[in-house]
Amino acid sequence: MSVTAGVSDTVIAVRDKLRGKIGQTKVKRYWPGKAPEWADDANEDGDIRMSAAASLEKAFPVQEYSDVVRKDDPRLHRLAESRIDNREDVRADHRRIRQAEIVSTIEEEAKRKEGLEAEEEDADALEERRRRIKEKLRQRSKKKLHSFCRKTRKK
pLDDT of residue 62: 67
CA distance 128 to 126: 5
C-alpha 8/C-alpha 29 separation (Å) is 5
Beta bridge partners of 16: 21
Q: Is 146 helix (H, G, I), strand (E, B) or coil?
A: helix
The answer to whether 37 and 7 have CB atoms below 8 angstroms apart is yes
pLDDT of residue 44: 55
Task: Give me the tens of pLDDT residue by residue for the chain, a chain 155 residues long.
Answer: 455 545 555 556 666 666 677 777 777 777 888 877 777 665 555 555 567 777 777 777 766 555 554 567 888 888 888 877 777 777 777 777 777 777 778 888 888 888 888 888 888 889 999 999 999 999 999 988 888 888 887 76
- For the chain, the structural domain boundaries read 41-94, 126-155
How is residue 45 annotated by DSSP?
Answer: S
| pTM, to two decimals | 0.26
